[in-house]
Amino acid sequence: MKTYDFDDKYIINLDSEMAIETDNIQVSYGKNQAIFNTSLKFPRFKIISLIGASGSGKSTYLRCLNRMNDKIATVDGKIMYRNVDINDPKTNVYEVRKHIGMVFQRPNPFSKSIRENIEFALKENGIRDKNELDERVEMSLQDAALWEEVKDELDTSALALSGGQQQRLCIARSIAMKPDILLLDEPASALDPISTSKIEDTVQLLSKNLTVIIVTHNMQQASRISDYTAFFHMGHIIEYNETRKIFTKPKIKATDDYISGDFG
């Protein structure tokens, strides 16, 4: 494997309105440090891809953003969201996760009906009004481009859906909470190309109303859908720039090697 100088990095200077930013994030699993001082800013209503080889730390980093690493790893540093450091131990993590939703690599709908999958978290958060619930179910399914396929079978089991539909249901379940930010952890890696392209279309539509941060192994996917791309290598952020620039004219050697397949 080639070795690169981790100090050799490029991070774009952004001054638009930020959805979330991290300041010197360090993550360690016991004695193993997985992420080294990573400071990134994510502009609002944009799609940002995190790319890098397996084990580069991109998923670990993503999971910090809504505190999903709480019981797994130690996360140091600041994560600023709406002027609050949400990495502070005193932060109400449940509240954070309502604003920052997450969809995982493998579709994980609950073993409930399609409707209950979406209504469940809403009800737990005190929404009881039947009309409001129905409306949220329809809106979120439409936004996730699933409504037309399932509108007549809302009360059947979510597990009877195909993998691609289940994943879109998971997206719908997440956006029904009306989050500001949606974190996607390789959402299409377990899906076929047709389902993948549907997910990509969905993500692009969603970015009108929220900020999407997506981890992906698929560089075509990153270049197709994202506005900005961040490249991670061995727990270090190497390059963060506009997607167009990163894929045509990377500034750092490591990024260039990774994108051109001349890596390691």
CA distance 25 to 202: 30
End-to-end CA distance of the chain: 4
- When asked if residue 57 is in the footprint of another protein (CB under 8 A), the reply is no
- When asked if residue 84 is in the footprint of another protein (CB under 8 A), the reply is no
| Binding test (CB under 8 A) with another protein, winner from 8, 76, 160, 192 | 160
Query: Other C-beta atoms within 10 Å of 115: how many?
Result: 18
Burial 67-91 (b: 16+ CB within 10 A, else e): bbbeeebebebebebeeeebbeeee
- When asked if residue 52 is in the footprint of another protein (CB under 8 A), the reply is no
Phi and psi at residue 200, to the nearest 5° = -60, -45
Q: Is 191 helix (H, G, I), strand (E, B) or coil?
A: coil
- Span of 17-25, 83-91, 92-100, 219-227 interacting with another protein by CB under 8 A: 92-100
CA distance 212 to 230: 13
- When asked if residue 110 is in the footprint of another protein (CB under 8 A), the reply is yes
Question: Residue 53 or 121: which CB sits closer to another protein?
Answer: 121
- Span of 27-35, 78-86, 141-149, 169-177 interacting with another protein by CB under 8 A: 169-177
CA distance 257 to 227: 21
| Binding test (CB under 8 A) with another protein, winner from 159, 180, 217, 227 | 159
- When asked if residue 157 is in the footprint of another protein (CB under 8 A), the reply is yes
- When asked if residue 109 is in the footprint of another protein (CB under 8 A), the reply is yes
CA distance 67 to 79: 10
Which residue has 């930013």 as its token pair? 21
Measured CA to CA in angstroms, residue 43 lies from 40, 47, 176, 178, 211 at distances of: 10, 9, 22, 18, 7
- When asked if residue 152 is in the footprint of another protein (CB under 8 A), the reply is no
SS3 content of the chain, % helix, strand, coil (to 5): 35, 25, 40
| Binding test (CB under 8 A) with another protein, winner from 44, 78, 98, 178 | 98
| Binding test (CB under 8 A) with another protein, winner from 16, 29, 55, 94 | 94
| Binding test (CB under 8 A) with another protein, winner from 7, 88, 124, 148 | 124
- Span of 106-114, 225-233, 241-249, 252-260 interacting with another protein by CB under 8 A: 106-114
- When asked if residue 174 is in the footprint of another protein (CB under 8 A), the reply is yes
Q: Which residues bind another protein (CB under 8 A)?
A: 66, 68, 94-98, 101-102, 104, 106, 108-112, 120-121, 124-125, 156-157, 159-160, 170, 173-174, 177
